[in-house]
Structure 1
Amino acid sequence: MPVPSLQDSCYVNAMIHFYRGELGRIMIWRQRLDVTTTWAITSTTSIITVAFSFPNVPHIVFFFNLAFVWMLLWIEARRYRFYDAFRGRVRMLESHFLVPMISQSQQLLDGEWRRLVCEDLILPSFKITAIEAVARRLKRNYVFIFAIILVAWTLKVFIHARSPIDSVEHFYNALAVHALPAWIACVVYIGTILTVGFLVVYVSRRSSEEINEFSGGNASLWRI
């Protein structure tokens, strides 16, 4: 199969429209990611407001807050996998089509990238695993939401405790609410910290970021 030329107007126009279509697709999925994050922030803000406004509201309300945020994180991670799959096509076109067009280098247009794009169009596939998608969204946004929930939960226990808390044992006993034993609350509390910490470390070590913080020696060229 001959390699298309940069002077082939039909090929260039088709690729440009293809690129614009894929770019529009990932923008739609990117907007859907913002919706779940907004709901997580809104629900957390509302629950914290109610918890601290009414002393009679038990701190068990943060159980539901954590469950709801974890559910939103899973939904957002699923959406992120679709976004990342289509973003892979866009990055392929940017790297192997737009770069040769800008640099006017026919050699950069060669390679197996066209075959890979065709295979992905015929049989679309995810580029990252579900746990990696969860970890990425957690590191980007949700780690701060979980941190706020845990801090608010701790303050709620201290401020509205029936008796003063001056030791770890008293704090542990204060976690009990009616029929809910303290050990369950403690497991949820510590388990959330360990799970969030593990996922953040996991994605930091095994996954590359969507955009790098530094671009090497060329970073200074982009300063205004």
Structure 2
Amino acid sequence: MKTERPRVNASLAAPDRSLGTQAQRPTPPADAPETAPIHQTISPEQAASAAPRPARKLSPAEFNTAMVHFYRGEVSRANTWRNRLDTTTNWAVLTTGATLSFAFSSPTNPHFVILINTVLVCFFLFMEARRYRYYEIWSSRVRVLETGYFTQVLAPELPADDAWVSHLVEDLRAPHFTISEWEAVGRRLRRNYLWIFVLLAACWNLKVYVHPVPAYDFNAFIDRATIGVVPGAVVFMVGVVINAGLLIFALATMRLQQATGEVLTERDFHPIQTVTDWTRAASDRRQRTATVRRAKKARERTRTPRVGSTTGEWKRPDSHRTQTPDDIHRTQYPQRKSLTEETLSQRSEVRD
């Protein structure tokens, strides 16, 4: 016996051929995000790696360890660039000493070697200013850690300030120079190179005046300053303009205070002081006064009033003799019972 199969409506089973087109899948918009193929197989490892990982919070011990190692690394970086600064200064000092020794060793030696050395020292100045900018990057980070992190560790009673964290994070994400080129040049010029330029200018004038014989008037001095086809007056005026420009530049950049890695703060730094403040006697006197003050405060902290005495006499406390551990806990927590009392009360409750 045959079983008749159900008839299916042709209009539903086949696409509408009267329109002359076939049914197509709708086209996604152009700005739709790309998706993985439907039949693509993804391993569990790939799925775990593709999933966003939750932020892991460091424990206090891990955070302190990270900060200590980070501080050591930044100190090492700052020390490396500080040594490079000393190297450039040593080059300038050595070349200046060698040039002056050669210029004054014989009356026939030319005086323009001192001018050449002045140009060389200018190159050293710009090299050291560039290195100083890199040094300030690491030095500023060290200073931020000292004032923000270690200060709170050593003095927890001070009000907490978390601004140093955001400042350090932004500096680590986008490192940048903390000092401008002009400020760096001005600082190195005032610290070291201004005195080298003054020495070179004085030695050049002395060389021109003394050798081969002392000049009898200013006109003879100008004639000796001649270098080839360049008149002596031009050489002298160029030297005056350059040295005056260096002095003006050193004074004009004193108010630039972008760098934060200096040891002394702006309110404690006084570049112009009397000579008596820099003498050894004044320094020793201030140190003795500070030492006596600290010792007096330490003695006051360790003294406690004697029981039953009104004479103002003081006695050093002996906590291991006068107080028991229970008394110490009772002093810190007045409402708390001693360990023995708590144990006895618990035992009595259990018996009841």
Q: TM over 0.5: same fold?
A: yes
**Alpha-carbon deviations, 1:68-115, whole Å to 9, x = none?**
00000100000000001111111111110010011024742x332211
Give the SS at the match of 2:102: helix
Q: Which residue of 1 aligns with 2:71?
A: 19
AA at the equivalent of 1:45: G
1:129 aligns to 2:199 (yes or no): no
| 83-92 or 155-164, which deviates more | 155-164
User: 1: CA distance between counterparts of 2:191 and 2:258?
Assistant: 13
* Candidates 197, 211, 218, aligned match of 2:263: 211
AA at the equivalent of 1:64: I
- Structure 2 spans left out of the alignment, 5+ residues: 1-56, 270-282, 292-352
User: 2: CA distance between counterparts of 1:193 and 1:69?
Assistant: 13
Q: Which residue of 1 aligns with 2:124?
A: 72
Q: Which residue of 2 aligns with 1:139?
A: 190
**Alpha-carbon deviations, 1:140-162, whole Å to 9, x = none?**
11111111111110100001156
Q: Give the paired residue count.
A: 216
Equivalent residues of 1:77, 1:137 under 8 A apart: yes
Give the SS at the match of 2:92: helix
Q: Could you list the runs of 4 or more consecutive aligned residues of structure 1 that deviate by over 6 angstroms after TM superposition? A: none
1:189 aligns to 2:239 (yes or no): yes
Q: How do 1:29-178 and structure 2 match up within 5 A?
A: 29-105=81-157, 107-108=159-160, 110-160=161-211, 164-167=215-218, 169-178=219-228
Q: Which residue of 2 aligns with 1:200?
A: 250
Higher helix share: 1
TM-score, normalisation: structure 1: 0.86
| 178-187 or 11-20, which deviates more | 178-187
Give the SS at the match of 1:125: coil
Higher RCO (CA < 8 A, seq sep 6+): 1
TM-score, normalisation: structure 2: 0.56
Deviation at 1:12, TM superposition (A): 1.2
Give the SS at the match of 1:177: coil
> Over aligned residue pairs, what C-alpha RMSD do you find?
2.7
